[in-house]
Amino acid sequence: MSVEYREEPCRSALNRVQGMGFKWSLNPYMGCVHRCTFCYVRAFELRADRPPDDRYGTSIRVKTNIADVLRKELARPSWQREPIALGAATDPYQPAEGRYKLSRACIEVVGRSGSPLRIITRGPMIVRDIDVLVEASQRADISITFSIPTLDVDIWRKTEPGTAPPQQRLRALKELVDAGVHVGVGMAPILPGLSDKPELMEDVVRAARAAGATGVWANLLYLKPGTKEHYLRALERDWPELLPEYERLYARKAYLDATEVRAEVRALANKHGIRDRRRVKLRPPAEPEQLTLAV
Ligand code: SF4
């Protein structure tokens, strides 16, 4: 598959978001070559009049100046140090990051500002930036979530055609946790009839515990228009026997009730003793740095 990279500077770095656990999102890239069949961003693409189908992930916008713009935005007196999410609408550690290092530069900028940062990724390349993550974690509340919905090789290969193997993510997680960085596992999306089998979910939780994950959570697949058509087409190709059940489950709604799956994963996390076991817990100073320096 050939990928086009469009170097297009941005005017603003932070986007305001509603109804999430963070107030701002930060995306150095638009589009994602990982091309997961279930990618929720396909729904945004459809709303923005861009193709959510097989063309998604073949043209990546690279916001070459994003770190400079971000630095200016975080220096404004009006900036309240609200939580920022890096990677809410694209993977910040997709292959382009190897060359452009924009996520790395953004982490440095956010770290210096003392603002809380939540990073979500499927990319083990993040280990490259262990130095800036360690430094930023000493100045600001930084946490990373590795998305690892399953360790099943067949499900991973068919649903995440462009990502690194889940075991590589676990190795990266271990390296970061051993360095004192806060890193958990997000089992999302759990796919009905596939990765929701109890033994498969337990495999992930057990491996997350072995790697030292500080926490684990789960969510079920949701299918909004744009994602739904693409996912169901891929399902028909790879697991045609599941198609009627999905059509029934998602006939009238995009979201399923995830209470049971979440409770199951919580119980597994308790069973395997997942908690923050870091030997070194990197944390920002109790007082804002500026005040400390001013004393
Ligand atoms: S890694 Fe994330 S953003 Fe990229 S295609 Fe997969 S779900 Fe979408």
Reported in sequence order, the residue ranges of the chain that DSSP labels E, i.e. its strands, are: 4-7, 14-16, 24-26, 29-30, 59-62, 84-86, 117-121, 142-147, 182-190, 216-220
Q: Report pLDDT for 160.
A: 98
Which pLDDT band holds residue 295 (cuts at 50, 70, 90)? very low
Neighbours of 283 (CB within 10 A): 14
pLDDT digits (tens, 9 = 90+) for 25-67: 999 999 999 999 999 998 888 888 888 888 889 999 999 999 9
Whether the per-residue pLDDT at 293 is higher than 80: the answer is no
What are the tens digits of pLDDT across the range 71-97? 999 999 999 999 999 998 999 999 999
Structural domains counted in the chain: 1
Neighbours of 9 (CB within 10 A): 11
- Which residue among 25, 38, 39, 230 is best mutated to probe the pocket of ligand 1, counting the most ligand atoms within 8 A of its Cβ? 39
213 lines ligand 1 (CB under 6 A): no
Q: Report how far ligand 1's centroid is from the alpha carbon of 133 (Å).
A: 22
Whole-structure pTM value: 0.94
Q: Is the CB of 228 under 6 A from ligand 1?
A: no
Structure tokens at 61: 């916008």
The count of residues in the chain is 295
More confident residue, 295 or 254: 254
* Statement: residue 164 has pLDDT above 90: yes
Residue 206 structural domain: 4-294
Q: What separation in Å is there between the alpha carbon of 235 and the centre of ligand 1?
A: 17
Please give the full DSSP string across 107-152, using - where no structure is assigned.
HHHHHHHT--EEEEES-GGGGGGHHHHHHHHTTS-EEEEEE-----
Ligand 1 center from residue 213 Cα (angstroms) = 21
Q: Is residue 36 in contact with ligand 1, taking CB distance under 6 Å?
A: yes
Structure-token match 């500002």, residue found: 113
Q: What mean pLDDT do residues 169-183 have?
A: 98
25 vs 18: CA distance, rounded Å:
10
The CATH number of the domain holding residue 33 is: 3.80.30.30
Q: Are strands 24-26 and 14-16 parallel, antiparallel or unpaired?
A: antiparallel
Of 36, 267, 43, 42, nearest to 166 by C-alpha is 36
User: What is the rounded CA–CA span in Å between residue 190 and residue 81?
Assistant: 32
Across 107-135, average pLDDT: 97
Alpha carbon nearest to ligand 1 atom 8, residue = 39
Name the band, by pLDDT with cuts 50, 70 and 90, for residue 287: low
